[in-house]
Structure 1
């Protein structure tokens, strides 16, 4: 029996092809799924990154109290009678200056930790910001005196309890603990004012930097009085008027504490007195004799590389003394067709200089002495302060013959340069070497010294 039915649909040539309506719905559904997946990935990345961060649980606080961050304790603790005061009462103490200055000074730090600014404290108490800082620093200096290994004498400490004690102690703030105690004792013994304390503190701070200055070794770094005397000793040399120079030396003599310092100052006073009695012509003649006929040159960048000839000299540090000069090789010889330089003895340090005529003439017995500070050399100009120099000296000429010459001698195991006139006055007839040339390091502004700058 035959039945009528619809014939089956032929297979589509594009089996995945759908009608446009279904395709639009699928695309919307697919887009939403992609957005959900992206959001899940972002949450996963954030959670993983947060897991890698260091985590510290919040500090626990008693119930009913708000957590407050840690604040360091004050450097100067409040006196017992001020600890229970309210903020208003503390402001009244500062406004009325109740008590000694070092007792109410810590109140300023306490108010600052409570949120007060220097301006607001000044409005409430009338104490300017600069004075607030001075009181705080002076109180810290006073506490350091009490905390020192050797207890500061109570009778001397009472000197700083007066109204001007804060200004005086404030000037000692830059010194170390040991220097501060010695300087404070000197201030209290001599009843110095803030300006005197400032001069004393500056001289103590500056004294170690003047190691290369003439006469430094005669003064003691452990004595604040000697440090101040040395500062006056240096100032006397800057005075143009002989009367001013003698006045500064007289103050230095009264200030000095050690016998060696007094002896050195007395010698300088005698020399200044004798010089003041000389006539103008004699002074000019003495000045001409003090000038050493030694050239002082500054290297230029690339000068050694561009030189047609160079000189190789054994280098000796000033701290090595006479033994270093004696041990340095004396002769260098060029061997073979290539001119290989050979020394008569092994040596570890060498200086290479351009083939200047004075150096070439003395090269067979010359040595280069390394001076860490050019101020140790006897020249008047201080432009070369705190720079290293090379002193080229000829060991073949050791006899002190010229008053205007310069010579390398050994002083307490250290090499120094002295004028010939001074060596003759002290009876020294032979030195380690005669200075031929002084070489300064290169720098941008070339201000070479002339022979007149040599003292």
Structure 2
């Protein structure tokens, strides 16, 4: 029996600037040659790499993928990928550059240079490739330049007067390397290399400042530098240990009103080390859980004992048997989300039901948002040693 499958184009099929676009035949290349001819030329590499890369795209609809081309023509898949990546950059540059200006990249080695510019935008590639041409850079130097440009873009805040010109981006790299090294000789050499490349006065001034002799510290500054330093840590909320939450009762028998009335433990002080329990809190059992982000952001967290986690399989997606604790948030803001929730349904008044994300809540009143289901560690057997194994979201 013959079976057919619907063809689905790959992602970026209609994007002319995507890497996949380089694998599609270009109508301007003229009619495709027979597959045997293209494979023979690929095996001998008798044409420029730009032509060979287009052969790869023209062979795809004929049933020759990269593995087949490697087997038949002997061109490694890694080299095929290099050609296609370089062709994508070449095609992008050809939109704003004359073919004669790009001919020097059609020779062996040009593909490696252009491939290094794959992560740059079209606006970044144009000045970068002209800078590469002017300085006769090889593939390794082009890689350093491309990374320097991306680093300049990623660097937030003050860029110390370095412009987005390729030379300044490269000089900025040397500037950063110079101030980050502890070797004074290496620092001066890096600053000198950057100074030779910088083109804007502000960039040259920043690099020149690194080469100026440092003034001798005053006796007070020298004495302060020798004083021992006390390590200071800026704590995050999740570093503060645990959070107390009341146990409202068993999931199967707790009334919605009981869960809504759960008290909230309030931490006081800069480190929340003093916990204030409201009046009537002695009527509840309390449990301390690690201050995970979901628990730290909860308004009024509470717990419900679950005798057997497998009974929640339909609602929570957990089939593991054994006791557990269903952690919920009964705060006012918990009704805003569309996640897992506990509701009081009209069909089961006075009881709790699990509502999945996206389910119709018609006829049901919100009680609490479900944060997670946690199970105790299996200390006796040594299993479930990781936090991720204790949670079932």
TM-score of the pair, normalised by structure 1? 0.45
What count of residue pairs does the alignment treat as equivalent? 236
Higher CA-based Rg: 1
Look up the SS of the partner of 1:152 in the other structure. Answer: coil
Pick one of 117, 120, 124 that aligns with 1:172.
117
- Name the structure 2 match of 1:297: 234
- Name the structure 2 match of 1:95: 43
Offset of residue 97 of structure 1: 1.7
- Root-mean-square deviation (CA), in Å? 3.9
Look up the SS of the partner of 1:163 in the other structure. Answer: coil
Confirm or deny that 1:274 pairs with 2:211: no
Pick one of 148, 159, 162 that aligns with 1:216.
159
Aligned residue runs from structure 1 range 203-352, under 5 A: 203-212=148-157, 216-220=159-163, 222-270=164-212, 273-274=213-214, 285=222, 288=225, 297-301=234-238, 306-308=267-269
Offset of residue 101 of structure 1: 1.3
With over 3 angstroms needed to count, the CA separation of the structure-2 counterparts of 1:130 and 1:293, relative to structure 1, is same
Pick one of 119, 129, 132 that aligns with 1:187.
132
Offset of residue 234 of structure 1: 0.7
Aligned residue runs from structure 1 range 20-169, under 5 A: 75-76=21-22, 77-78=25-26, 83-147=31-95, 151-154=96-99, 156-169=101-114
With over 3 angstroms needed to count, the CA separation of the structure-2 counterparts of 1:293 and 1:145, relative to structure 1, is same
With over 3 angstroms needed to count, the CA separation of the structure-2 counterparts of 1:119 and 1:286, relative to structure 1, is farther
Contact 1:232–1:249 (8 Å) recurs in 2: yes
Look up the SS of the partner of 1:173 in the other structure. Answer: coil
Contact 1:79–1:103 (8 Å) recurs in 2: no
Offset of residue 84 of structure 1: 4.1
Look up the SS of the partner of 2:210 in the other structure. Answer: helix
* Structure 2 portions without partners, runs of 5+: 15-19, 244-265, 272-386, 388-393
- Name the structure 1 match of 2:308: none
Offset of residue 110 of structure 1: 1.9
- Name the structure 2 match of 1:373: none
Q: Matches of 1:208 and 1:91 in 2, distance apart?
A: 42
Look up the SS of the partner of 1:75 in the other structure. Answer: helix
Offset of residue 293 of structure 1: 9.8
- Name the structure 2 match of 1:429: none
Offset of residue 86 of structure 1: 0.6
Q: Matches of 2:121 and 2:29 in 1, distance apart?
A: 31
Between stretches 293-302 and 115-124, larger displacement belongs to: 293-302
Offset of residue 219 of structure 1: 0.7
How big is each residue's C-alpha offset from its partner over 1:52-104, in whole Å with a ceiling of 9 and x where there is no partner? Answer: xxxxxxxxxxxxxxx99687698344586762411100101211223221122
Look up the SS of the partner of 2:234 in the other structure. Answer: strand
Contact 1:219–1:258 (8 Å) recurs in 2: yes
Contact 2:42–2:73 (8 Å) recurs in 1: yes
Offset of residue 309 of structure 1: 7.5
With over 3 angstroms needed to count, the CA separation of the structure-2 counterparts of 1:205 and 1:286, relative to structure 1, is farther
TM-score of the pair, normalised by structure 2? 0.52
Contact 2:188–2:210 (8 Å) recurs in 1: no
**Which of the pair has the greater relative contact order for Cα pairs under 8 Å at 6+ separation?**
1
Contact 1:118–1:129 (8 Å) recurs in 2: yes
Look up the SS of the partner of 1:298 in the other structure. Answer: coil
How big is each residue's C-alpha offset from its partner over 1:344-379, in whole Å with a ceiling of 9 and x where there is no partner? Answer: xxxxxxxxxxxxxxxxxxxxxxxxxxxxxxxxxxxx
Contact 2:50–2:83 (8 Å) recurs in 1: yes
